Amino acid sequence: MADISAKETGGALKTTPEVDRGGFLSKLNESDQDNITTLATAFERKMKKKQQRGGMIVVGGILEKPLPRKDIDIRVVVETGKTRNDYETRIAQAMDRFNILEEITSQLVSDNPDLKIAARMEPAIDEEYQSPSILKHEGTIRIERVGATPIELLNTVGGTLEEEIRKQERPFAVIARVS
Please report, for the domain that includes residue 48, its CATH number. Answer: 3.30.460
* Residue 51, number of CB atoms within 10 A of its CB: 7
Quick: pLDDT tens for 88-125.
999 999 999 999 999 989 988 998 888 999 999 999 99
**Strand-strand pairing, 151-155 and 140-144:** antiparallel
Total domains in the chain come to: 1
HSE of 83, CA atoms in CB hemisphere, 13 A? 2
Higher pLDDT, 13 or 164: 164
Per 3-state DSSP, the chain is made up of helix, strand and coil in percentages (nearest 5) of 35, 30, 35
* 12 pLDDT above the threshold of 60: no
Is the predicted pLDDT of residue 11 greater than 80, yes or no? no
In a domain, 3, yes or no: no
Residue 168 CB partners (closer than 8 Å, separation 6+): 16, 17, 18, 57, 59
Provide the whole-model pTM: 0.88
CA distance 69 to 74: 13
CA–CA separation, 21 and 8 (whole Å): 24
pLDDT at 61 over 90: yes
Residue 58: which of 79, 39, 44 has the closest Cα? 39
Flag whether 2 is in a domain. no
Structural domain contains residue 4? no
Residue 6 pLDDT grade (very low, low, confident, very high; cuts 50, 70, 90) = very low
Asked if residues 143 and 116 have their Cβ atoms less than 8 Å apart, the reply is yes
Residue 113 inside a domain? The answer is: yes
Residue 7 in domain: no
Q: Tell me: cis bond preceding 68? Omega within 30 of 0 counts.
A: yes
Binned at pLDDT 50, 70 and 90, residue 14 comes out as low
**Model confidence at 64: pLDDT above 60:** yes
Q: Is residue 147 part of a domain?
A: yes
Q: Residues 136-143: what's their mean pLDDT?
A: 96
pLDDT of residue 159: 83
Beta strands in the chain (DSSP E): 3-9, 12-16, 53-59, 72-79, 116-121, 124-125, 135-137, 140-144, 151-155, 172-178
In a domain, 5, yes or no: no
Within-domain flag for 69? yes
Mean pLDDT of 30-46: 93
* Residue 128: domain span: 17-178
Task: Return phi, psi of residue 123, to 5°.
Answer: -55, 150
Any idea which of 64-68, 80-84, 134-138 has the lowest mean pLDDT? 80-84
